[in-house]
Amino acid sequence: MKLYKIINFKEKEFIKVNNCFCLGDDSLIDYRFFAVRETALRCANEYKSINKLDNIYIAELKCESYLYESLIDNYAHYDEYILVSDVGLNEINIYIQKDNDIGTNIIFISEVFNYNNNDIRIPLYASEGLRNFGVDFDNDYFSYIDSFKSPFNYSPHNLFQGDYYNKKVRQELGRVVVYKDSPTFYESIAEAVFDNYDKKYKFGFEVLHKQGIVPVSKIKRISTNFGVSIRVDSPTVEHEYITKLNEQISNIYSWKYGKRAINCYNDPFFRNPANNITLDEFVKSETRSKCFFAFSNMNLSIKLQKPEKAKQSKTQYYNLYQNSLKSLLDRYSVNGKSAFLKVDDLNDYENCIGIYILCFDNESKMYIGQTKSSLKKRITQHFTDPHSDFDKTHNFESISSIYILDTLSEYIDDLEEDCIANIPSEVLFNVFAGGTSIHMINQKSYSREDHIRNFEFTQMVAKEAIEWRNGN
């Protein structure tokens, strides 16, 4: 869990340098630790208003259960907070500074604001960075930021982080370039996307363009595995900013043209029905919001990619991966015989439909998918026509093994949800819950139990598949 503490400017500076709270200092303004971030934000703004402060912050730290229980047992606790003493603060500081599984850099600081009676948090690096770019945090600025809000009920993105990276990238890389018949320059991603809404031009950056660094055309090569040879894009030597930018643009277009936009519009979890905007308005609003976060997502993608260059060896999750796969195969077994078949030759499944499991032993992860047309075509399509991050970051040759469950079309959606829900997220490449669901498995609202089908159903499907193969 996490704990939150209200801090002032002096404490903020001390924490930045020392990664611990300032004990015994007159500047220590608050001995409360909050378990709920929204409560901490509200109380911080109240403190800021009462004391007429220019700045107020909250410090966030990851807290293991034993520390939280110790604080509850030893100090006064109320519905909203734990009131600790100097001794309690020292206990927390010792915890922060010692080596543990979480790591030592566990304090995250946000600056706190209030706009239209809404409590707002901005990561410290973003608020300080935006000020360096000349931003005044006044009503005009908050109104401007508000115009990029997603029409979703909930968005995982922080608008101010998005704006920070928009300004940072613009300063470092200049305008966006769209490579039409002749290069065309745009002030923002949104302007470039909406001006070329139905095109698939490549994007780049002004500064790189002037250096002759432009998008690289892909070259096809032959990739062979499981008795099948396919033509795939050969890895190209391209500037990582250009590669990642075009991945973001592709994701934006994919969302606009895919079924997800319609599904999200019709799902009350994503859109409040009281919000009476049309589907077209909904799509345009979300597309504009996605454009606003393209640079921050690009930066995150680059950061995440770098440590993964060393992922060639088996990971810490190898045993979990192996045991989870075995457990899933056993779940679909009757009398010790699994309905999932291990694939030797994909050509044997060209006319089969059902569920597939792609296993990547070197990464200790798997991808679970479905098709109602052709297992062979769908599996190879991941690599011949990549769309998702999974498709773009993996190749056909890296698949260690494939398992398929050929079954009736009417079962497939339920089976996909069940299979995904029965595998821990640590060893899954999947992002969505599968089936007809559009929930993401890393969302707080996602509950595996809601997606697991009863055992009688899985046994019925397994039995039918095995009997059909045996000609019964």
Span 171-207, pLDDT tens digits: 999 999 999 999 999 999 999 999 987 788 999 999 9
Q: Are residues 224 and 120 in the same domain?
A: no
**Contacts of 229 by beta carbon, 8 Å cutoff, 6+ apart:** 222, 223
Question: 369 and 355 in contact (C-beta within 8 Å)?
Answer: yes
Residue 463 in any domain: the answer is yes
> Distance (Å, rounded) from C-alpha 72 to C-alpha 402?
49
Name the domain count of the chain: 3
> Distance (Å, rounded) from C-alpha 176 to C-alpha 191?
9
pLDDT band at 311 (very low <50, low <70, confident <90, very high): very low
Q: Are residues 303 and 341 in the same domain?
A: no
Query: Can you spell out the DSSP letters for 303-328?
Result: HHHTGGGGTTS--TTHHHHHHHHHHH
Residue 241 in any domain: the answer is yes
What is the structure's pLDDT at 146?
93
Residue 260 in any domain: the answer is yes
Nearest residue to 355 via CA among 461, 238, 236, 231: 461
Q: What is the mean pLDDT of residues 376-386?
A: 94
Q: What is the mean pLDDT of residues 26-52?
A: 84
What is the structure's pLDDT at 105?
43
What is the structure's pLDDT at 309?
42
- Does residue 312 surpass a pLDDT of 50? no
Q: Are residues 290 and 325 in the same domain?
A: no
Residue that is last in its domain, among 309, 333, 348: 309
Q: Are residues 340 and 416 in the same domain?
A: yes
- Does residue 102 surpass a pLDDT of 50? no
Q: Distance from first CA to last CA of the chain, Å, rounded?
A: 53
Residue 104 in any domain: the answer is yes
**Structural domain that includes position 261:** 166-309
What is the structure's pLDDT at 308?
45
Enter the tokens of residue 464: 């039918």
Nearest residue to 200 via CA among 213, 220, 215: 215
Span 321-373, pLDDT tens digits: 999 999 999 999 999 999 999 999 999 999 999 999 999 998 999 999 999 99
Q: Are residues 287 and 324 in the same domain?
A: no
- Does residue 315 surpass a pLDDT of 70? no
Span 403-421, pLDDT tens digits: 999 999 999 999 999 999 9
Q: Are residues 323 and 452 in the same domain?
A: yes
Q: Are residues 234 and 296 in the same domain?
A: yes
Enter the tokens of residue 165: 């990276």
Q: Are residues 295 and 324 in the same domain?
A: no
Residue that is last in its domain, among 290, 309, 328: 309
Q: Are residues 299 and 362 in the same domain?
A: no
In 89-111, which positions are buried (b, 16+ CB within 10 angstroms) versus exposed (e)? bebbbebbeeeeeeeeebbbbbb
CA distances from 203 to 27, 263, 282 (A): 50, 28, 25
Q: Are residues 322 and 299 in the same domain?
A: no
CA distances from 376 to 325, 346, 355 (A): 21, 6, 11
Lowest mean pLDDT among 23-37, 74-88, 246-260, 369-383: 23-37
pTM of the predicted structure, to 2 decimals: 0.67
Helix, coil or strand: residue 45 = helix
Residue 153 in any domain: the answer is no
Residue 38 in any domain: the answer is yes
What is the structure's pLDDT at 336?
93
Residue that is last in its domain, among 113, 129, 145: 129
Q: Are residues 8 and 116 in the same domain?
A: yes
Q: Are residues 282 and 405 in the same domain?
A: no
> Distance (Å, rounded) from C-alpha 88 to C-alpha 114?
30
